[in-house]
Copies of this chain bind each other. A is one copy, B any other.
């Protein structure tokens, strides 16, 4: 029974990620249908729709944090930083959810868990940033808040404007030029 329940919970979260990622106004019923469970099952696992949304958000943020932590072990901190930045923005362009996750991560709202996940993700990104600065790949006078704002902005911009890959890359080239240390 435990196994079944855990399975269902996972299926629901996957479905929610998919559904809300495409249209944030989707109904809980859509999630249930995609997950192949009854709607009551969704509400058994997540007491309110908000709770479900937060769970999805938390998952997203944890994945981003994990990726950042992975890259933190890289031999080339500069490359690691820019690769993470690029990956996040690229995926956001097709996955609305990521851009929204980034946004929510810093905002007061969100439940306890999501806030913690956001904190963890930002810390991991901060780690990438600091290492890149130490390695001379990012200007040392850039502070975390504005760099994180730039990450959010680039993601949201790419998402909102449905940029094609080329334009997105050229936009990022401009951003990176602003981030690199002056010669």
**Nearest 8 pairs of A and B residues by beta carbon:** A153-B157, A178-B178, A156-B156, A103-B160, A146-B170, A177-B178, A146-B171, A153-B153
Shortest Cβ distance from residue A62 to the other chain B in the assembled complex, whole angstroms: 20
Binary CB contact string for chain A from 120 to 158 against chain B (1 if under 8 A, 0 otherwise): 000000000000000000000011011111101111111
The answer on a CB contact under 8 Å between A158 and B167 is no
Asked if residues B153 and A174 are in contact (CB atoms below 8 Å), the reply is: no
A-B contact pairs, 28 of them (CB 8 A): A99-B160, A106-B162, A142-B170, A143-B170, A146-B167, A146-B170, A146-B173, A147-B174, A148-B161, A149-B158, A149-B161, A149-B163, A150-B171, A150-B174, A150-B175, A152-B160, A153-B153, A153-B154, A153-B155, A153-B160, A153-B171, A155-B157, A156-B160, A157-B157, A174-B179, A177-B177, A178-B178, A178-B179
Query: Are B176's CB and A106's CB within 8 A?
Result: no
Total residues of chain A contacting the partner, CB 8 A: 37
Given that A107-B162, A176-B178 are contacting pairs, would A150 and B157 also be in contact in the complex, using a CB cutoff of 8 Å?
yes
In the complex, A145→B146 CA distance in Å? 23
B160–A145 CB distance below 8 A: no
- B161–A107 touching, CB < 8 Å: yes
Q: Please report the C-alpha to C-alpha distance between residue A25 and residue B24 in the assembled complex, in whole angstroms.
A: 11
Does A168 interact with chain B (Cβ within 8 Å)? yes
